[in-house]
Structure 1
Amino acid sequence: MEHILFLFTIFLSFAFSTRCNDVYTYSKKDFPEGFVFGSAVSAYQWEGAADEDERKPSIWDTIFHSRKGPTGDVACDGYHKYKEDVRLMYDMGLDAFRLSISWSRLIPSGRGPVNPKGLRFYKNLLDELKSHGIEPHVTLYHDDLPQTLEDEYGGWFDRKIIDDFTAFADVCFREFGNTVKFWSTINEPNMLAFGGSGLGIKLPTPQTNSYRGNSSTNQYIALHNMLLTHASTASLYKKKYKDKQNGSVGITCFTYWMVPFTSSKEDEMATQRAKDFFLGSVLHPLVFGDYPGSVKRIVGKRLPSFSKEESDLVKNSSDFIGVIHYTIMYIAHLTSSTDQDFVSDMNASLIPFGNSTLVKYDVLPWGLEGVLAYIKENYGNPPVYILENGQSSNHSSSLNDVGRVEYLHAYIGAVLNSVRNGSDTRGYFQWSFMDLFEFLDPNYTYGLYYVNFSDPELKRSPKTSALWYSAFLNGTTSSSHELKNSGSFSAL
């Protein structure tokens, strides 16, 4: 009966939708062999157990405790409930699962001794995934810098972090590399560096945590150090581990698709500048060994430069690009600004497209197609994994999240279109597997599974989207024709 009601609900949601008329015209079988489908979480937002088993605070802990609101101290208690959660992933049919390693759980002081309890937790979690046939995709840094390193030298503002992070990665490669074959070094470095600069997003980043020196310079210093850190880490893996472990190392990039606000020449030029700054500042060095010419020209001496050795190290340092995409932004020429920061440098305003907000998005799958085409056409068509894509809903609303189903169906279809058009996209990870601690607005969550945060047991319950994604992964919802004639509707 649950499946009958589920399918009927899905049918009705699309029948009355004006956004997605051609529904269920593809299936998982239409994707290339080896294409992976997964879901994702991050350590701080899922694990909880913030002060257990020798873990020390990260900058997430410091910031959210200072705000006197919700924190990730407990989150989903994945630290204790990981076996239950992996079983849910297995039952759903996930090919892969994206997670991150808490640096301050594994190496509590940021450098020095490894915490044996943290090491055991991650080994147990990874073994649990592999024993259920789920491929782990691991992000080494998902925004949770150990507070000790922030206090000591300002974290990403100082080149000391290159050695400290590389040493942390060395531990991860050595201890987990026989199980993990897909590593992302740093989560969305462009958003970490620029996220607090007029984009309307408040993250625990250099922009919102602390400034040391000139803020208009520090944004670029932080990004530069992230790129050098990624390159150092990738180089270590290739020299020391790749031949034995046969894995891949990449980096992620937060990607708005950007379109001119008007048809004016000024807005068109502003849109290209925004692409150069926001996308090119990460992707250009990885492919060409340097920043885009427009960024170098505008920022001038405030932009750090790569030495010849550094340029060679950064160039071709990513085996793949991890794309993070949710929505589209209009771009308008910025007529005047008194500030000297990222937004004023690119001389462009970012305006939400349609009715999208920072936590709720219109269904605009052509934006993801635009991003993937842009990467293909401008950066040599590298291997791509969509490592985050999803829709939020009010956490207090019902489990019947048909809006999320509509979003996921449209965007997975966009990925298929992109693959058919030549993009070397190899996987899609929905964000997020379950409702997590969300820092933008805790009232809006992205999960396929509802988590009752008022319940001491933090009970997980499948939403309509979980049932839909599971049906898709298991090949039981391949076309509108089959859905309408499956007998599920005639039984009602």
Structure 2
Amino acid sequence: MRSSTLTLQLSSKPPWKCTQTPHSLQLLLLLLIISLGVLCCGSECSRHDFPQNPNLVFGFATSAYQVEGAANQDGRTPSIWDTFSHAGQAAGGATGDVACDQYHKYKEDVQLMADLGLEAYRFSISWSRLIPYGRGPVNPKGLQYYNNLINELLSHGIQPHVTLCNYDLPQALEEDYGGWIGRNIVKDFATYADVCFREFGDRVKYWSTINEPNVFAQGGYDAGVLPPQRCSPPFGRVNCTRGNSSTEPYIAAHHILLAHASAVRLYRKKFQQTQHGFIGLCIYAIWFTPLSDSKEDIIATRRANDFVIGWMLDPLVFGDYPNSMKQIAGSRIPAFTKAESELVKGSFDFIGIVHYFPLSVKDNSRVLEYEYRDYYMDQAIVNPGGFDMTTVEVVIAPWSLEGVLEYLKRVYGNPPVFIYENGQRLLRNTTVEDTPRVEYMEAYIEGVLNAVRNGSDTRGYFTWSFLDGYELARSGDTAYGLCYIDLDDPDLKRYPKLSAQW
């Protein structure tokens, strides 16, 4: 089904055959799990079938803490992700201390990417590796590592796409002033970004400031299931010892938007004219559809879009939060001053999106009457349409990605888009015949093609993930990687799976 049809038929059932039995879960539970030449489409399309974007790039994605390892080596200090995992909060008690050891094996990894014909690699910089205490002197060893990685990629013709912060805020800043809930973070993030632009911007042309701020704010400051694990009763899903679930998610997100916009202003003023790069923000995007044709479910779906996509994109495009959010959250959500609104509005060259599956929305507006309302309960109850916390495989529903791209085109003026994460979760095992992952990618790349043919300004598709890395949810027994790693092998040898070859 084309995305234009989806826009007109929001309540119709998806034409794609789901691989799991539907279960009713709240959106909150779903977000906890997340926080978690190419040929495609059988014989029907190929790499050359993207006419509006002949240079659309295909790549693999990772993040620093999930693949680098060397967590306490060469001057790196802990991030909030280290603190979280070492407190035993990650699934299976896993940590990223070693992860895939890309810090030591980056040359081997880049050669493998080249052998697989990779066009681009999206990775993140560990702030606490580059500037160990969040501010102050630059760590020479950290600087050397990222210079080496970037140079190695370019020497093999692979385009680097860099994320400045993927959940891993330096623990020192969390302790100094509360991290993202402290106003000082805006200046400190801009200073950190300045270092990255100055040191790497002559070779890096694509920058994302912060990854998934909508999920990070909810998981880290409302439910407390992500670092820095702040929440309060009765909304926290864990036994949090600090935080305020009613206000802090909004405060953290507000500061993230201001930090992002400050970094963009800096880049445009000091670097963009000479470095000729592009900068954006990467959000988690879910395609919501009403569970029924009722007016209530349709309105609830709009509300869900506002609270997940609009929360980040309305300020970037229109200069303010969605009206529904302001009405529901009231004084709990910070207001932009006129200067802040002007700073945030237009602060992107592209939008990065993370997308894995669709959700169906059922109205639950009765909770809006409560004096104390949970952050995500402010909108709706959802049906994941074939995915819950006990299953492994993600439902194959490429029409959902088409729907997101059509929504961005219709509501936000068709901005340039990079799909920075999209992939299939499977059990971690020794088999490299990961046919379900191939089927997933094949379907979603065809969905991208449909969206491009329908006018979407999509510039890139990146599969999550290059390697079987450290994953926050069910990290011990599941993986998204296109390359298998035997964690019992001291050398952590890489084995390309069927999906990587495909």
Q: TM-score, normalised by structure 2?
A: 0.86
Would the alpha carbon gap of residues 420 and 228 (structure 1) be closer, same or farther in structure 2, given more than 3 Å must change?
Answer: same
SS at match of 2:58: strand
CA contact (8 A) 1:192 1:206 kept: no
313, 335, 340: which is aligned to 1:310? Answer: 340
1:290 aligns with 2:320: yes
Q: Give the structure 2 partner of residue 79 of structure 1.
A: 103
Q: Does the CA contact (< 8 Å) of 1:290 and 1:311 recur in 2? A: yes
| Distance change in 2, residues 1:165/1:355 (3 Å) | closer
Which digits, 9 at most, give the CA deviation of each residue in 1:461-486, with x for residues without a partner? 01110111xxxxxxxxxxxxxxxxxx
Tell me if structure 2 keeps the 8 A contact 1:48–1:75. Answer: yes
Whether the 8 Å CA contact 1:56–1:104 is kept in 2: the answer is yes
1:272-291 maps to which residues of 2 (within 5 A)?
Answer: 272-291=302-321
* CA 197–116 in structure 1, closer or farther in 2 if over 3 Å, else same: closer
Residue 221 of structure 1 corresponds to 251
Q: Is the 8 A contact 2:61 2:462 kept in 1?
A: yes
In the other structure, the counterpart of 2:354 is: 324
Moved more, 79-88 or 295-304: 295-304
Partner residue, 1:424? 457
Q: C-alpha offsets along residues 236-276 of structure 1, whole Å, 9 cap, x if unaligned?
A: 00000011101111001101111112222221111110001
Match of 2:68 among 47, 51, 60: 47
168, 174, 177: which is aligned to 1:153?
Answer: 177
Q: Which amino acid aligns with 1:25?
A: E
Deviation at 1:355, TM superposition (A): 4.1
Which of residues 109, 133, 136 is equivalent to 2:133? Answer: 109
State whether residues 41 and 442 of structure 2, in contact with CA within 8 Å, keep that contact through their aligned partners in structure 1: no
Give the SS at the match of 2:249.
helix
* Match status 1:174 vs 2:174: no
Name the residue aligned to 1:480: none
Q: Which one scores higher on RCO, CA 8 angstroms, separation ≥ 6?
A: 2
The match for 2:225 is 202
Aligned to 2:495: 461
Partner of residue 481, structure 1: none
Letter in 1 for 2:385: F
353-362 vs 288-297, which moves further? 353-362
Aligned partner of 1:392 among 404, 425, 437:
425
Identity %: 55
Which segment drifts farther, 236-245 or 359-368?
Answer: 359-368
The match for 2:386 is: 354
Q: 1:267 aligns with which of 297, 306, 321?
A: 297
Q: Against the structure 1 CA distance between its residues 175 and 161, is the aligned structure 2 distance closer, same or farther, given a 3 Å change threshold?
A: same
The offset of 1:94, in angstroms, is 1.0
Mapped contact 1:251–1:322 kept (Cα < 8 A): yes
Larger deviation: 325-334 or 400-409?
A: 325-334
Query: Residue 183 of structure 1: CA displacement?
Result: 0.2
Are residue 124 (structure 1) and residue 154 (structure 2) matched? no
Q: Is the 8 A contact 1:180 1:247 kept in 2?
A: yes
8 A contact 1:365–1:410 mirrored in 2 = yes
Mean Cα deviation higher: 240-249 or 24-33: 24-33
2:180 partner amino acid:
W
Residue 33 (structure 1) aligned to one of 54, 60, 64: 54
1:178–1:237 CA distance, 2 compared to 1 (3 A)? same
Structure 1 counterpart SS, 2:48: helix
CA RMSD of aligned residues (A): 2.1
- Kindly tell me: are residues 205 and 422 of structure 1, through their superposed partners in 2, closer, same or farther at Cα, counting changes over 3 Å? farther
Q: Give the letter aligned to residue 388 of structure 1.
A: E
Q: Note the C-alpha offset of 1:333.
A: 1.4
Structure 2 vs 1, CA of residues 220 and 73 (structure 1 numbering), >3 Å: closer, same or farther? same
Tell me how far 1:224 sits from its aligned partner. 0.5
Matched to 1:48, the amino acid is G
Q: Is 1:343–1:349's contact at 8 Å kept on the other side of the alignment?
A: no
Report the more deviating stretch, 72-81 or 388-397. Answer: 388-397
Task: Give 1:3's aligned residue.
Answer: none
Classify the secondary structure of the residue corresponding to 1:215: coil
Aligned to 2:87: 66
Tell me, what secondary structure is at the counterpart of 1:318? coil
Map Cα deviations across residues 349-377 of structure 1 (whole Å, 9 max, x no partner): 23311245575311000000000000000
Pair 1:397–1:353, CA change in 2 (3 A):
farther
Shift of 1:295: 1.0
Deviation at 1:100, TM superposition (A): 0.3
SS in 2 for 1:29: coil
For 2:43, give the aligned amino acid: Y
For residues 8-47 of structure 1, the C-alpha deviation after alignment (integer angstroms, 9 at most, x for no partner) is xxxxxxxxx9779973311111123211000011000000
Aligned partner of residue 164 in structure 2, secondary structure:
strand
- Tell me which moved more, 454-463 or 255-264: 255-264
Give 1:28's aligned amino acid: R
Structure 1 unpaired stretches of 5+: 1-16, 469-492
Instruction: Work out whether residues 216 and 341 of structure 1, in 8 Å CA contact, stay in contact via their aligned partners in 2.
Output: yes
- CA distance in 1 between counterparts of 2:494 and 2:455 reads 39
Compared CA separation, residues 167 and 345, structure 1 to 2 (3 A)? same
Q: Aligned to 1:321, what secondary structure does the other structure show?
A: strand
Q: Unpaired runs of 5+ in structure 2?
A: 1-15, 20-39, 232-237
Structure 1 Cα separation of the partners of residues 241 and 361 of structure 2? 28
Distance 2:199 2:479 in 1: 33
CA distance in 2, matches of 1:436, 1:90: 19
Following the alignment from structure 2 to structure 1, what is the Cα–Cα distance between the partners of residues 41 and 501? 20
Please show how residues 243-262 of structure 1 align to structure 2 within 5 Å. 243-262=273-292
Counterpart of 1:437 (choices 464, 470, 473) is 470
Contact 2:76 2:132 in 1 (8 A): yes
SS of corresponding position for 1:195: helix
CA deviations over 1:265-298 (Å, ceiling 9, x no partner): 2211111100011110101000000011111111
What letter is aligned with 1:45? Q
* Offset at residue 205 of structure 1 (A): 4.4
* CA distance in structure 2 between the partners assigned to 1:197 and 1:105 by the alignment: 24
Deviation of 1:212 after TM superposition, in Å, equals: 5.6
Distance 1:164 1:395 in 2: 38
Deviations 1:117-138 (A, max 9, x none): 0000000000000000000000
Native 8 Å contact 2:17 2:396 kept in 1: no
